[in-house]
Amino acid sequence: MRVTTADFIRNFGTLADRALAEPLTITKNGRDRLVVVSAAEYERLKRRDRQAIAAAEVPDANAALIASAEVPAGQEQLDAELTDWRP
């Protein structure tokens, strides 16, 4: 559902309840500005960003990209963090 900022302010209670069931896009000057989602949906989306998978499950194409990655110049101090590292 898409509503203007003014409509959202006028109908906050009703629209906030509706956002519990589906994302609510709030527009300003005809452009999407904000999206309101339920707290449960927000938490689900946050967890999705932090999914961990076993190394054996990484697709070969992604593993090749990781293997060929290089540390950007100016980040050499990160090497010191690996000194004496043990799993």
pLDDT along the chain (87 residues), means of 10: 96 96 96 96 84 87 92 85 81
pLDDT value at residue 32: 96
Question: Model-level pTM greater than 0.95?
Answer: no
Give the chain's radius of gyration (CA, Å). 22
- Which of 10, 54, 46, 6 shows the shortest CA–CA distance to 29? 6
Contact 20, 36 (CB under 8 A): no
